[in-house]
A and B are shown apart, each in its own frame.
Chain A
Amino acid sequence: MRKWIKTTAAAAGIAVLASGLAVTGASADVIDDIRKRGKLVVGVKADYAPYGFLDSSGKIIGLEPDLAQDVADTLGVELELVPVVSSNRMQFLEQGKIDLMIATMTDRNDRREVVQIVDPNYYSSGTNILTKGKFAQWEDLKGAPVCGIQGAFYNRKTSEEYGATIVAFKGTAEALTALQQNRCVAFVYDDSFIVSRLGDEDWKGWSMPLPTIDDAPWGLAVKKGEDAFAALMAGMIVNWHTSGRILDLETKYGLEQTPFAKKMHAQFRGVNPSIER
């Protein structure tokens, strides 16, 4: 009798699961596709050291490619990295050119409508400045020409609240060149990017002196509707935080351990961060 109940329950469970899969559509499970082709395709940055950059042989390496390798290892398949940029990363995912995107993307609601951003967040960054001048607080930038990137959301705050004159360029290369030519006294950008520059020989004597503002979490993403893959990735992220993998990778790539990564590590190990503080 008991056995019969068990069997029935299991059958019902499978039926529910199957109907769930049917609703999400025929191409719902990308994990099967990945296993079948024996290769996981991940979109990462290739111009954002040390999160994703090219080594001297032209191979993409960095913190995010290492995370991508973890996923491939877990699935037991080969890894293929595809370089993406901010303006095409979500499209690549939508078009199925990549299975997974780990590309320094800030988690925003309007982006959650386009791709499936996996919870919890794996990383976080805020806004700071790169300068060789003596600035202690944001207000010190009043009236100063500050280089930036056209369209960045913190340009307005930097000029409206702190009184800086934003000199915005198309890309980081132009902005950094203008900064080195003293056309502006500082460069306002993501602190994660600035931290990576500070380790570079070319930027000796430069610093990131201000308190970071607008700290915002990063999200990795899968194609919309890939619930099974999203669940697997959620598990991967929890695992990275619990094991301290992110902190280890920060150390490996010469980054300071970020408050966000420390906090997540403490939280997932079961330590209440409010007590630890």
Chain B
Amino acid sequence: MEAVYDWFRVFYQDTGINLTFIYDSYDRNRLIDGFFMTIWLSVICLVLSMVIGVVGAWAQGARSIILRRVVAGYIEFFRNTPPLVQLYFFYFAIGSILPTTENRFGFEEPILGNFAWAVISLSFFAGAFNVEIFRSGVEAVPESTKEAAEALGYTRLQTYLYIVLPLAFRVCLPALNNNLVNLVKTTTLAYAIAVPEMLYMANQIWSDSVNVPEMMTFLLIAYVFLVGVLVWFMNRWERSMRLPGFG
């Protein structure tokens, strides 16, 4: 490996293209950490936002008017405010009034750190869109199909879980795809509250080595790759769920 690192050092001297994140072990390690932090943050938010979407779409059709109002309020709040503002709001405003725990330096630290707030904020942000996306799928299921389930003795919840949701999923997958791709890209905003994800690390590296074009190029390629993997997976899922003769 040393030979490879040396080659990139010489490459820098010859061409002026400074890829510190390859030959400098400190930069390399922190960029790798950032890369995995981005993946970790994305995966958690993807899963949580889908759970929120499914539960929210169900609650939207609930009999209780209070529950329906709560979901409507939640969607309005998260869909109508910029995610960056939400992150700042949660981290600095809400985070400071929550209980604290003493850390090993004897400081009373807020109970939720920046990573936790990033997960909460981004999941609920994407979740608000997912609720609406799932609703579009749920509403696309014909009334007669639901009546047929009712006639067979399904309860409301059973109808939702076994009849409506599987069909709705197939209808709304393309829209869901879009939103999840957006979510992965939105994780970059977490650098505002100092979550050490890929953009945060890249920013620190290019500040230290003044190699902005190189780091920007790397970031672009890395996100094309990450989003590409997600899209490939979603497409496979979409194909495997295809029902002949439906949609």
In the complex, are the beta carbons of A170 and B107 less than 8 A apart?
A: no
Provide a sorted-by-A list of 22 A–B residue pairs whose CB atoms are within 8 angstroms.
A133-B107, A150-B191, A150-B200, A150-B207, A151-B203, A151-B204, A153-B207, A156-B26, A156-B204, A168-B200, A168-B204, A174-B88, A177-B92, A178-B92, A178-B194, A181-B95, A181-B96, A182-B110, A183-B113, A183-B114, A185-B103, A185-B107
In the complex, are the beta carbons of B203 and A150 less than 8 A apart?
A: yes
Contact residues in B for A181 (Cβ distance below 8 Å): 92, 95-96, 110
Contact residues in B for A178 (Cβ distance below 8 Å): 92, 194
Interface residue ranges of B159-194 to A (CB < 8 Å)? 191-194
Q: Bound complex: CA of A185 vs CA of B106, how far in Å?
A: 9
Contact residues in B for A79 (Cβ distance below 8 Å): none
Q: Does B145 contact A (CB under 8 A)?
A: no
* With A110-B210, A155-B204: A182-B114 Cβ-Cβ less than 8 Å: no
Q: Does A160 contact B (CB under 8 A)?
A: yes
* With A133-B106, A150-B200, A152-B207: A168-B194 Cβ-Cβ less than 8 Å: yes
Q: Bound complex: CA of A150 vs CA of B194, how far in Å?
A: 9
Contact residues in B for A167 (Cβ distance below 8 Å): 114, 194
Q: Does A144 contact B (CB under 8 A)?
A: yes
Nearest-CB residue, chain A, relative to B88: A174
Q: Does B6 contact A (CB under 8 A)?
A: no
Q: Bound complex: CA of A65 vs CA of B106, how far in Å?
A: 41
Q: Does B238 contact A (CB under 8 A)?
A: no
Nearest-CB residue, chain B, relative to A150: B203
Q: Bound complex: CA of A170 vs CA of B204, how far in Å?
A: 11
In the complex, are the beta carbons of A182 and B109 less than 8 A apart?
A: yes
Q: Does A169 contact B (CB under 8 A)?
A: yes
Q: Bound complex: CA of A125 vs CA of B234, how far in Å?
A: 54
Shortest Cβ gap from A198 to chain B (Å): 19
In the complex, are the beta carbons of A182 and B108 less than 8 A apart?
A: yes
B interface list, Cβ under 8 A from A: 26, 88, 92, 95-96, 100, 103, 105-110, 113-114, 191-194, 200, 203-204, 207-208, 210
Q: Bound complex: CA of A153 vs CA of B108, how far in Å?
A: 29
Supplied contacts A150-B204, A174-B92, 14 more A-B pairs, CB within 8 Å = A133-B107, A144-B105, A150-B200, A151-B203, A152-B207, A153-B207, A153-B208, A167-B114, A168-B200, A182-B108, A182-B109, A183-B109, A183-B110, A185-B105
* With A133-B106, A174-B92, A181-B95: A169-B194 Cβ-Cβ less than 8 Å: yes
In the complex, are the beta carbons of A170 and B192 less than 8 A apart?
A: yes
Contact residues in B for A160 (Cβ distance below 8 Å): 26
Contact residues in B for A144 (Cβ distance below 8 Å): 105
Contact string against B for A residues 118-159, beta-carbon threshold 8 Å, 1 for contact and 0 otherwise: 000000000000000100000000001001001111011000
Shortest Cβ gap from B29 to chain A (Å): 10
Contact residues in A for B191 (Cβ distance below 8 Å): 150
Contact residues in A for B114 (Cβ distance below 8 Å): 167, 183
Contact residues in B for A150 (Cβ distance below 8 Å): 191, 200, 203-204, 207
Contact residues in B for A177 (Cβ distance below 8 Å): 92
Q: Bound complex: CA of A154 vs CA of B234, how far in Å?
A: 43
Enumerate the 10 nearest inter-chain pairs by beta-carbon distance, A residue then B residue, closest first.
A151-B207, A167-B194, A182-B107, A185-B105, A181-B96, A182-B109, A182-B108, A156-B208, A185-B107, A168-B194
Q: Bound complex: CA of A166 vs CA of B193, how far in Å?
A: 12
Q: Bound complex: CA of A147 vs CA of B193, how far in Å?
A: 11
Contact residues in A for B193 (Cβ distance below 8 Å): 169
Contact residues in B for A169 (Cβ distance below 8 Å): 192-194
Contact residues in A for B210 (Cβ distance below 8 Å): 110
Q: Bound complex: CA of A156 vs CA of B92, how far in Å?
A: 25
